[in-house]
A and B are shown apart, each in its own frame.
Chain A
Amino acid sequence: MRRALVAVICAALLVAVVAANRLIPEYDRKMRPIGTTGAIGETVRTSAFDIKVDRVTVGRSLAEKDGLGDERERTPGLFVLVWADLTGVDQPVTLDTAYLRTADGHRYDTTDAMGFGSLDETGSDPGLTRYGAIGFELPPYRLAGARLVVAPQAGENRLGPQAEVDLGLSADGARRLVAQAPAVVRYDQAVYR
């Protein structure tokens, strides 16, 4: 009787160990950045920077305002520019991680079609606010529900600061934006306010 009881307890403990192991979160989830969320028009504050997105513009091609010549970058999708104020907290900051997370979980890193002067690359200094655009390209059907994610560290950014901004693009809003998209969307170099 006693042996049977010990065997049952051992089996139960074994099951508990396996179950507990399954509860351990995956590495990427365990080490994910410490994110602060907000919405377009709000200032999202992190320990390293503050960011305030004020508008989103889109276009079928991309060009730099006042650029030399009229060189347009083209995409089979849509160029999306997210315009924002960026302020460093206690040291200079650049947004080495910047991507759009779409409603269906796709991650679109910044476009390589944008020249110098994008806000993510230019960054800002402590206490100073710089305004500019961060550029992306994605298929128009993935625009609705897209959120901007930015962080100062590139790569894994384990437990680092991160801001996630809901761009407020409803299905109808995104459809309207795409329908009214100009042939070319232009960007300025990021500048201090």
Chain B
Amino acid sequence: MAGSGGRRRGGVVLRVAGVAAVLAAVLGAVTALGGFRAAPVRVPTARPGVPVPNGQLVITTRAARYRHTDPTDTYDRDRGRYLVLAFRVTNVAPQTATADEAMGGSRMTVTGRPGGTVISELSTDFAVGAGHHIYLQPDLPRSVLMVAKLPRGVPVPRTVAVTIHRAEYRPGFTDEHKAWWGTDEVAAVVTLPVRSAR
């Protein structure tokens, strides 16, 4: 009887040791691979002047300028502090889009540097336009200007980082009708210097 009890205890010890060894091996492997911290996300970057496709549009970020007047007249020719971004955009989707829907909102964010303060939220308004044209017809390239009015106290950034998000054509959350939606996935971040324009 005592012999069979000892064998049973021995078996339990062996199994516990086995489980502990496996756990130690797994933990060792996880630690060796970087632990439980979030893996760094590699954000794709693109240089100014390089076309960036995001699924719906191909966006070429051309220049960033600081001006005292708004070239789109969005702000009624008020003299102020404007950050103007110039893009060349081709709508590669099979339907017309408007520049403000396809490029505004969360589709593109503009920060003073990668990961910095979002300039579009700092500004009192954020406009998209090219003269009075805001329609992007399929396969007809168009120049688009985005203008942010910088509030007082916000310094003029030396560089800006334009984050272009990918878009996808799908039904909405409450609406089965298909439309283009922005995603969290970044197509590219374009960093460019802000030059003063006369």
Interface locus among B12-20, B107-115, B131-139: B131-139
A77 engages B140 (CB within 8 Å): yes
* CB 8 Å contact bits of A176-190 with B (1 = contact, 0 = none): 000000000000000
Q: How many residues of A contact B (CB 8 A)?
A: 20
What separation, in Å, do the CA atoms of A139 and B141 have in the docked complex? Answer: 10
* CB 8 Å contact bits of B141-170 with A (1 = contact, 0 = none): 110000000000000000000000000000
A109 engages B96 (CB within 8 Å): yes
Interface locus among A46-54, A100-108, A167-175: A100-108
What separation, in Å, do the CA atoms of A155 and B138 have in the docked complex? Answer: 18
Within 8 A of A (CB), among B85-110: 94-96
What separation, in Å, do the CA atoms of A162 and B139 have in the docked complex? Answer: 26
Question: Which residue on chain B has the smallest CB distance to residue A76?
Answer: B140
B141 engages A106 (CB within 8 Å): no
B133 engages A112 (CB within 8 Å): yes
Assess whether A122 is interfacial by the CB under 8 Å rule: no
A137 engages B137 (CB within 8 Å): yes
Q: How many residues of B contact A (CB 8 A)?
A: 17
Query: Are A106 and B135 also in contact (CB < 8 A) when A75-B140, A76-B140, A76-B141 are?
Result: no
Q: Would you call the interface of chain A mostly helix, strand, loop, or mixed?
A: mixed
Assess whether A191 is interfacial by the CB under 8 Å rule: no
B176 engages A77 (CB within 8 Å): no
Question: Which residue on chain B has the smallest CB distance to residue A109?
Answer: B96
Within 8 A of B (CB), among A99-149: 99, 105-109, 111-113, 137-139, 142
Within 8 A of A (CB), among B39-81: none
A106 engages B95 (CB within 8 Å): yes
B135 engages A111 (CB within 8 Å): yes
Assess whether A90 is interfacial by the CB under 8 Å rule: no
A107 engages B141 (CB within 8 Å): no
* Closest A-B pairs by Cβ, 3 of them: A27-B176, A109-B96, A107-B95
A-B contact pairs, 19 of them (CB 8 A): A27-B176, A27-B177, A27-B178, A28-B177, A76-B142, A77-B137, A107-B94, A107-B138, A108-B138, A109-B95, A109-B135, A109-B137, A111-B137, A112-B132, A112-B134, A113-B133, A138-B138, A139-B139, A139-B140
Residues of B whose CB lies within 8 Å of any CB of A are 94-96, 132-135, 137-142, 171, 176-178
Given A28-B178, A109-B95, A109-B135; 19 other pairs, CB 8 A cutoff: A27-B171, A27-B178, A28-B176, A77-B139, A77-B140, A99-B96, A106-B139, A107-B95, A107-B96, A108-B138, A109-B96, A111-B135, A111-B137, A112-B132, A112-B133, A112-B135, A113-B133, A137-B137, A156-B177
